[in-house]
Amino acid sequence: MIGTDADLPENFDQLTTPGIRPGDVYVATSPLHGRGVFAARSFTPGSIIEICPILVLPAPQRAALDTTLLHDRYYEWNDAAGLALGFGCLYNHSYDPNAHYRQHIERDLVVVKALKAIAKDEEITINYNGDPADQTPVWHDTAAAPGRDAPDDD
């Protein structure tokens, strides 16, 4: 989903490292897909988990990117590819996510926010379709029924 500046913190322009708060999240082994992003503290609904800077790869480079291990780790960024820095390319997919993301195309950012309360050490998941309620099977899960997470293909 495309976000607006209203999704960003009031003092966003003053942040020197946009939204990456060391210690708020960490990467660990996931029961869903190999590795995932976990909460190092609790998050309340609506709180920002992470603001991820995006490395935009031009449309002509997408085909080359699709031949690498990053082929399922980038965001569609208009006709280009957006590789989220920070933990942004490591959030696992769920059809019942506890977080959601907004793409800020004009600022080259992805903002990840809590949809519901997230407990310390709980895995943070997003719906790769963008809309948290969208049950359309995602590219790596076309054989799975909506409402189920795909097995790890790593």
Q: What gap in Å lies between CA 149 and CA 33, rounded to an integer?
A: 9
Asked whether residue 144 is domain-assigned, the answer is no
Match 């999704």 to its residue by tokens: 7
Q: What is the pTM of this model?
A: 0.75
What are residue 88's phi and psi, to 5 degrees?
-55, -25
Per-residue pLDDT of the chain (154 residues; tens, 9 = 90+): 555 556 566 555 544 444 445 678 999 999 887 889 999 999 999 988 988 898 898 998 888 888 877 767 777 888 888 888 889 888 988 899 999 988 888 888 988 999 999 999 999 999 887 777 767 777 666 544 444 343 344 4
CA separation (Å) from 125 to 10, 30, 55, 154?
Answer: 25, 11, 21, 17
- Whether 111 is in a domain gets the answer yes
132, 118, 7, 134: CA torsion to nearest 10: 0
Q: Which residues contact 134 (CB under 8 A, 6 or more apart)?
A: 127
Residue 132 lies in a domain: no
Say which CATH number the domain at 57 has.
Answer: 2.170.270.10
Q: Which two tokens stand for residue 23?
A: 């210690």
Asked whether residue 2 is assigned to any structural domain, the reply reads no
Tell me whether residue 146 is in a domain.
no
Q: Is 89 part of a structural domain of the chain?
A: yes
Domain of 57? 18-126
Give domain status of residue 99, yes or no.
yes
Domain count, the chain: 1
Rounded Cα gap, residues 43 and 139, in angstroms: 29
Q: Is residue 85 part of a domain?
A: yes
